[in-house]
Amino acid sequence: MDTDVASPGGRIFVRRWPGGNERAPIVLLHDSLGSVEQWRDFPRALADATQRDIIAYDRLGFGRSGAREARPSIGFIDEEALVFSAIADALGLARFVLFGHSVGGAMALAIAAAETERCEAVVTESAQAFVEARTLEGIRAAKAAFGDDAQFARLAKWHGDKAGWVLDAWTGVWLSTAFAPWSVDAHLPRIACPVLVIHGERDEFGSTAFPERIARGVRDGRMIVHPCGHVPHRECPADVLRWVAAFLDRE
Residue-level pLDDT, tens digit, the chain, 251 residues: 999 999 888 999 999 999 988 899 999 999 999 999 999 999 999 999 999 999 999 999 999 999 998 999 999 999 999 999 999 999 999 999 999 999 999 999 999 999 999 999 999 999 999 999 999 999 999 999 999 999 999 999 999 999 999 999 999 999 999 999 999 999 999 999 999 999 999 999 999 999 999 999 999 999 999 999 999 999 999 999 999 999 999 86
- The pLDDT value given to residue 22: 87
Range of the domain at 107: 2-249
For 182, phi then psi, to 5°, come to -60, 145
Specify which residues 183 forms β-bridges with.
130
Specify which residues 224 forms β-bridges with.
198
Count of domains for the chain: 1
Neighbouring C-beta atoms of residue 45, cutoff 10 Å? 18
**Residue 49's domain is classified under what CATH number?**
3.40.50.1820
What b-and-e string marks burial along 151-190, b requiring 16 or more CB atoms within 10 Å of the CB?
Answer: eeeebbebbeebbebbbebbbebbeeeebeebebeebbee
Of 61, 53, 57, the closest CA to residue 159 belongs to 61
Total-model pTM:
0.97
- The pLDDT value given to residue 251: 60
